[in-house]
Structure 1
Amino acid sequence: MKRLTALLATACAALLYAAAALVFPHYAAAATMTEVTNFGANPGNLRMYVYVPNNVQPNPAIVLAMHPCGGSGPGFYSSSEFASLADRYGFVAIFPSASKKANCFDNWSDASKVRGGQTDPVSLMSMVTYVEQQYHGDPSRVFATGSSSGAMMTNAMLALYPEVFKAGAAFMGVPFTCFPNEAAYQPGGNSAPCVGKTAQQWGDLVRNANPSYRGPWPRMQLWHGTSDTVVAYAELEEEVKQWTNVHGLNQTPTSTATPQAGWNLRRFADASGSVKVEAYSIQGAGHSLPTSGMAAVAIQFFGLTGASPSPSPTVSPSPTPTVTPSPTPTVTPSPTVTPTASPCRVVYTANSWNNGFTADITITNRGTTAINGWTVTWTWPGNQQVANAWNATVTQSGAQVTARNVSYNGTIAPGAGTSFGFQASYSGTNTAPSQFTVNGSICAIT
């Protein structure tokens, strides 16, 4: 889809922080997310945030969790379930923030395709090494996951450093080395080079990144929505080709399942029955993954739950973690409102600095029928003023704000979600709205 460049450019302007980073102690306080500076070589100019749960294991596993374009480490911490799963299973989670091309992780430069290239993968490896050294992280249990741009980087990290990462989970990604240059970084609707290579060609690109490596190769779990118009659903098959070929498997699954309504799972196992690749097609889902419960499936695939991987683990609800305020960015907590039988849920995350902020809003359809066209409204409790937005058309009259879907994200299937964001200014206190409505219905806020 060729509109992605415009979306990325808008998000880039929206997500620049206005203050410099502070230096924090080596150890984050338990059950808080802390920014770490001076974590090692950082040619990608990334920012590192680390989350250490109260029940962190003595030699914890490490999960590198990477945000989509236009996002941030604190935003993915708040909007995904990986922090609450760290609370449950005792691993350390790293939430990096990208800095290039609308806060996308670099998946296009020549340097991003070679081991030791002076760009984002080297910075991410520095973060992993830091956690191994400072938190006694277990080097035999290091994993990567991410959404969209973060999923693309998940593919890259497993390809470039296969001896480091034991498994990955990529939500809405593309194969390693998909993009030949920055100008081609338009995942949706781009028929070449991201679609059309043979499995052997895709596999060779991974093997050529480490010509002397003989395995074992990391296991890979792949997710994509069938209605994704930002990163084309066709990219899922290219990823399947790449990773099954790396593992010496063909593209015929060894088993299939429907673990939940609308979730179609294909598994690819070796001769011993060990599953090396999983592919989830989410019927009707757009560019909105992971949604509720999917992160838990990824963590179980990693083997961090103490049980064998299964397609649909049961996860007890955990409260959304609250980011401890820091000078840049400060995450404004949202109030919790739970209307009875609410047909929708809203997650609101604001990242503030001085007199400005950006906010991400995720809408989830809790009803039994699809939402076809959505309008979100809220009222500011203060003097907040929206300046620009992405993935929605946002207007403001006084304190009243209205956000409407754009052409490619108007449909939200039951159980699915979509996200949009904006940049705004404020003075005084940046208090979150106390109520959101979707098409006139009051939503639960989490």
Structure 2
Amino acid sequence: MLLPAILGSLLLAAQAPQALAAKLTQVDYPNNATSKVQMFVYVPDNVVANPPLVVVIHSCQSTAQTYFQNSKIPWKQGSDKKGYITVWPSSPHSGTCWDVSSRATLTHNGGGDSQAIANMILYSIDKYKVDPAKVFVTGGSSGAMMSNVMAATYPELISAVSLYSGVAAGCFVSSSGGVDQWNNSCSGGSSKATAEKWGDVARAMYPEYTGSRPRMQIWHGSADGTLAPGNYQEEIKQWTNVFGVTQTPTDTRKNYPQANYQTDDYGDHVEGIYATGVGHSVPANLTASEIWFGLV
């Protein structure tokens, strides 16, 4: 009588779902930047060979751990489903906004937060055998601002960016050169310039660079009361100029990826998604961002 019971128990155990061992883990990484950003990494149980990497940059008043646990930030689920690795930087500053204002962070190898995050990418390529041609960056609010800065300061490391509710790279620059400085003019939408000027701002962050640049997907809400909706158009100006394309969309899709959203393509390398009636910040859309990254 015991043998059938034992066999039945073994069969049930074999059929039971296995507990996942993967968890968000802080790691030490070679960081020669002045900024000491913490690095957290999530390697899923089913990681693929030569995996893609998504760097997920948190907003103000958040950390790598809380952003990772936020149900509105779906990159853990995407990682579990498709086997790519995610890195979650954690800001060292009071209030946990990112430094997108100092000369250090707005300069390639300047020693600021941007260089620390670049060091995480380089470490991940070496440690986790990440495919260097499949490195992607995303973030919301302050994390979106840093995503724009990363695209300007380290374009050689990044294939594509999908950012939610940010401002143009360099818009938050501090006249005093201070680290992690708020800029009311920029946040309120008063910092306006021509497309060429914004393009020059981005190019000046790595003036000797002549290589390819990451594809840019830019999201913003029309009811954003923290980073004014006008910042969306300044971002579009900046990146269409960097890529040398017109500010007239080559394709427009209404109610995509959902109702009250409009998606405008500016060639193959810049995409703007404007969410009517949506405040700060636009909720992350895993499917649309993964499509932009080629993770489908």
1:141 equivalenced with 2:140 (yes/no): no
1:233 equivalenced with 2:229 (yes/no): yes
| Structure 1 residue 93, shift from structure 2 partner | 0.3
Instruction: Please give the residue correspondences for 1:347-358 in structure 2 after superposition, counting only pairs within 5 Å.
Output: none
Q: Which has the higher strand share?
A: 1
Q: Is the 8 A contact 2:216 2:271 kept in 1?
A: yes
1:188 equivalenced with 2:187 (yes/no): yes
| Structure 1 residue 38, shift from structure 2 partner | 4.1
SS in structure 2 at match of 1:244: helix
| Structure 2 residue corresponding to 1:173, chosen from 155, 166, 182 | 166
SS in structure 1 at match of 2:161: strand
Task: Give the Cα separation in 1 of the matches to 2:227 and 2:117.
Answer: 23
Indicate the residue corresponding to 1:51 in structure 2. 42
Give the TM-score taking structure 2 as reference length. Answer: 0.86
- Deviations 1:121-155 (CA, angstroms, capped at 9, x unpaired): 11101111111111111111111110011000000
Task: Give the Cα separation in 1 of the matches to 2:22 and 2:215.
Answer: 29
Indicate the residue corresponding to 1:268 in structure 2. 266
Task: Give the Cα separation in 2 of the matches to 1:213 and 1:115.
Answer: 10
Task: Give the Cα separation in 2 of the matches to 1:128 and 1:185.
Answer: 28
Task: Give the Cα separation in 1 of the matches to 2:105 and 2:169.
Answer: 10
Letter of the structure 2 residue corresponding to residue 188 of structure 1 = S
**Could you tell me the percent identity over the aligned residues?**
37
Indicate the residue corresponding to 2:107 in structure 1. 114
Task: Give the Cα separation in 1 of the matches to 2:162 and 2:146.
Answer: 11
Task: Give the Cα separation in 2 of the matches to 1:240 and 1:227.
Answer: 18
The number of aligned residues is 267
Task: Give the Cα separation in 1 of the matches to 2:117 and 2:286.
Answer: 20
| Structure 1 residue 168, shift from structure 2 partner | 0.3
Instruction: Please give the residue correspondences for 1:259-338 in structure 2 after superposition, counting only pairs within 5 Å.
Output: 259=256, 260-269=258-267, 275-291=268-284, 294-305=285-296
Task: Give the Cα separation in 1 of the matches to 2:105 and 2:250.
Answer: 33
Letter of the structure 2 residue corresponding to residue 266 of structure 1 = D
| Structure 1 residue 213, shift from structure 2 partner | 2.1
| Structure 1 residue 290, shift from structure 2 partner | 2.3
Q: Is the 8 A contact 1:30 1:52 kept in 2?
A: no
Residue ranges of structure 1 left out of the alignment (5+ in a row): 1-28, 270-274, 306-446
Give the TM-score taking structure 1 as reference length. Answer: 0.58
1:252 equivalenced with 2:248 (yes/no): yes
Instruction: Please give the residue correspondences for 1:195-206 in structure 2 after superposition, counting only pairs within 5 Å.
Output: 195-206=191-202
Instruction: Please give the residue correspondences for 1:58-77 in structure 2 after superposition, counting only pairs within 5 Å.
Output: 58-77=49-68
Q: Is the 8 A contact 1:40 1:130 kept in 2?
A: no
Indicate the residue corresponding to 1:348 in structure 2. none
Instruction: Please give the residue correspondences for 1:354-433 in structure 2 after superposition, counting only pairs within 5 Å.
Output: none
- Deviations 1:227-286 (CA, angstroms, capped at 9, x unpaired): 0000111100000000001111011000100212111111111xxxxx111111111111
Letter of the structure 1 residue corresponding to residue 224 of structure 2 = D
SS in structure 2 at match of 1:209: coil
Indicate the residue corresponding to 2:120 in structure 1. 127
- Deviations 1:8-40 (CA, angstroms, capped at 9, x unpaired): xxxxxxxxxxxxxxxxxxxxx952111112443
- Deviations 1:291-313 (CA, angstroms, capped at 9, x unpaired): 4xx122112101011xxxxxxxx
Indicate the residue corresponding to 2:5 in structure 1. none
Task: Give the Cα separation in 1 of the matches to 2:130 and 2:199.
Answer: 30
Task: Give the Cα separation in 2 of the matches to 1:52 and 1:214.
Answer: 33
Task: Give the Cα separation in 2 of the matches to 1:214 and 1:140.
Answer: 17
Task: Give the Cα separation in 2 of the matches to 1:180 and 1:93.
Answer: 28
Q: Is the 8 A contact 2:100 2:173 kept in 1?
A: no
Indicate the residue corresponding to 1:350 in structure 2. none
Indicate the residue corresponding to 2:215 in structure 1. 219
Task: Give the Cα separation in 1 of the matches to 2:98 and 2:167.
Answer: 13
Letter of the structure 1 residue corresponding to residue 144 of structure 2 = A
SS in structure 1 at match of 2:76: helix
1:89 equivalenced with 2:88 (yes/no): no
